[in-house]
Structures are given as structure tokens and as C-alpha cells.
């Protein structure tokens, strides 16, 4: 049966409203609930995206090279000069972790701030560090075909849902990749990502991303396969969270960093 024009308009408006409610309540920067702390030097690539003035933690990010990093597009809504990356997991000899200035923000051209489709951004950075040999290995996957199984999420966000504080100590937790069909069955058609959105879902047993984790990486077999984006609350058993899949955006990322 064909829908009337008014019905179609109503459904579109309803979807927008529901997405706005979802993002307002639980699509904020997310942390790893039920995770374990990571010793320094284990994942020096995982940085804390901070306000350059207050140094307040905002989101996670991944250093890809001395001149580029990766985060979620919704994490960077201001001018590049308003942000700085702090490498909290890099084993430095001093009390202050090394930093990187953010010079330019390049959001994916298909990024939608309402639905969070294609929620990824490449950052041009200036890394204040002389030793960059640890960045010689590429973190990008060679292939994302048939991605499944267990992966590891990293973040500096809340350890407890209602704690109200992030952490300078990197945490990690194990998640399981779930299909978009399974994700839709659990989250519903308005909260789950569309098949053409460049997004994916993952769920953990007592482990989840939460406030402060957005933009942080999901590593699978040593490669970054996703970026934490959003979800419904934190740590709800059996409830997947939504991540930006690297696969659909791999060529775009490679084009931007090929001269690094």
C-alpha cells in the first residue's frame, strides 16, 4: 500500500526527532565501562583529544603518522586551533605527556551530524616529539572483508556510568562485532545504523564505550577497524554500540595521508 505524502513527511520528521533524542541522551562522547587499565607504551597511538585552552579531555583519537590522526567527526565541531592531542599512553621521561597541535580538521564529505552516518575525521597534526620511529608501522587495515570476531576498544572516558569523570589512564576492553541485521533487531530501525551509513556495531560482556570514548579506536588483529561513535546509554547488557567502520572510508583516509 502506498503511503500518503503527509505520512511520508511525518515519518521523516519522526526519524529526525528520534535521532535528535538519541544523540542528546546517549550519543555524547562515550568511555570503556568494565575495562582494564593499559600500561604505558602498549598503545601510544591512542591519544586524548583535548580543549587546547583548558586541556579538558573531550574525545579519543588515534595517531596514524607524525602528521595525521583519526577521530570521530562529531568530536571536532570548532576551529582546529581549539584542539590539542595528548599522548597519555606514550612512556615519557617527564611528568607531562607529549602533545600534538591540531592544524586542520577534515571531516568525511558524507558525514551527517543528525544520523551520525560516516562519523569520521582526519586531523592534520604537528607532533611535538623527536622520536617517531614507533609510528613506522601502518595501523590501517589492508582489508576489511568479512570482519568478525573479537576486537579491543581503547579509551580515556568514564569507568563508571555515573562517575562524571574521565581518566588520564588508558583503558581497554574486548568487544564482539555484530552484523547490522542483528544490531537493528536489538536497537531498532531508528537507532541502528543504515547499511549505507559506513557504520558498524559491536557489543561486549560487561564492557562498553561510554562518556569520553568517542573518537577512540577499535583494534582488530592489531589494525584499527573502527572509531567509537555513539550508542544508547553505557554498559547495558546485550546492547550494541555504534562505530564508524574504517573499511568504507579506507580509500578516503589513505588519499589524505598518502604523503605522510
pLDDT in tens, 132-169: 999 988 999 987 666 777 899 999 987 666 656 777 88
- Shared-domain flag, residues 166 and 231: yes
Domain membership flag for residue 94: yes
Residue 155 sits in the same domain as residue 242: yes
pLDDT at 108 over 90: yes
* Whether residue 94 is found in the same domain as residue 130: yes
Q: Rounded mean pLDDT of 70-78?
A: 98
Instruction: Specify whether 239 is located in the same domain as 201.
Output: yes
In a domain, residue 238? The reply is yes
Q: What does pTM read for this prediction?
A: 0.84
More confident residue, 184 or 4: 184
CATH code: domain of residue 233: 2.40.10.10
Comparing CA positions, the residue from 141, 160, 161 lying closest to residue 151 is: 141
Whether 173 and 225 map to the same domain: the answer is: yes
Cβ contacts of residue 64 below 8 Å, gap of 6+?
A: 45, 70, 135, 138, 139, 140, 253, 257, 260
Give which of 14, 17, 45 is closest to 227, Cα–Cα: 45
- Does residue 1 lie in a domain region? no
In a domain, 145, yes or no: no
Whether residue 99 lies inside any domain: the answer is yes
Instruction: State the total domains in the chain.
Output: 2
| pLDDT for 160 | 61
Range(s) of the domain holding residue 50:
44-136+250-257
The answer to whether the beta carbons of residues 153 and 220 sit under 8 Å apart is no
Which of 26-30, 105-109, 132-136, 199-203 is least confident?
26-30
Across 210-227, average pLDDT: 93
Q: Are residues 88 and 119 in the same domain?
A: yes
Q: What is the pLDDT of residues 32-59, one digit of tens each?
A: 655 688 898 999 999 999 999 999 999 9
The pLDDT, as a whole number, for residue 33 is 53
How many whole angstroms separate alpha carbon 128 and alpha carbon 113? 31
Query: Residue 86 pLDDT more than 80?
Result: yes
Instruction: Please check whether residues 224 and 155 belong to one and the same domain.
Output: yes
In this structure, is residue 172 part of a structural domain? Answer: yes
Could you tell me if residue 192 is inside a domain? yes
- Domain for residue 10, yes or no? no
Amino acid at each position: 500500500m502506498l503511503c500518503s505524502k503527509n505520512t511520508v513527511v511525518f515519518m521523516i520528521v519522526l526519524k529526525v526527532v528520534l535521532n535528535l533524542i538519541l544523540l542528546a541522551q546517549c550519543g555524547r562522547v562515550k568511555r570503556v565501562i568494565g575495562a582494564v587499565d593499559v600500561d604505558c607504551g602498549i598503545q601510544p597511538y591512542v591519544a586524548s583529544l583535548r580543549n587546547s585552552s583548558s586541556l579538558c579531555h573531550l574525545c579519543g583519537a588515534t595517531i596514524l603518522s607524525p602528521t595525521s590522526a583519526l577521530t570521530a567527526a562529531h568530536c571536532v565541531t570548532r576551529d582546529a586551533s581549539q584542539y590539542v592531542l595528548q599522548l597519555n599512553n606514550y612512556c615519557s621521561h617527564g611528568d607531562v605527556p607529549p602533545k600534538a597541535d591540531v592544524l586542520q580538521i577534515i571531516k568525511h564529505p558524507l558525514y551527517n551530524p543528525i544520523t551520525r552516518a560516516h562519523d569520521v575525521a582526519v586531523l592534520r597534526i604537528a607532533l611535538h616529539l623527536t622520536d617517531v620511529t614507533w609510528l613506522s608501522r601502518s595501523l590501517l587495515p589492508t582489508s576489511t572483508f568479512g570482519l568478525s570476531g573479537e576486537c579491543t576498544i581503547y579509551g580515556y572516558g568514564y569507568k563508571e556510568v555515573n562517575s562524571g569523570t574521565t581518566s588520564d589512564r588508558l583503558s581497554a576492553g574486548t568487544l564482539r562485532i555484530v552484523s547490522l541485521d542483528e544490531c537493528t533487531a536489538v536497537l531498532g530501525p531508528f537507532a541502528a545504523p543504515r547499511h549505507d551509513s559506513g557504520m558498524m556495531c559491536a557489543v561486549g560482556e560487561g564492557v562498553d564505550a561510554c562518556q569520553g570514548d568517542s573518537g577512540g579506536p577499535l583494534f582488530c588483529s592489531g589494525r584499527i577497524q573502527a572509531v567509537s561513535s555513539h550508542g544508547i546509554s553505557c554498559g547495558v547488557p546485550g546492547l550494541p554500540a555504534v562505530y564508524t567502520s574504517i573499511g568504507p572510508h579506507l580509500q578516503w583516509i589513505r588519499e589524505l595521508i598518502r604523503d605522510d
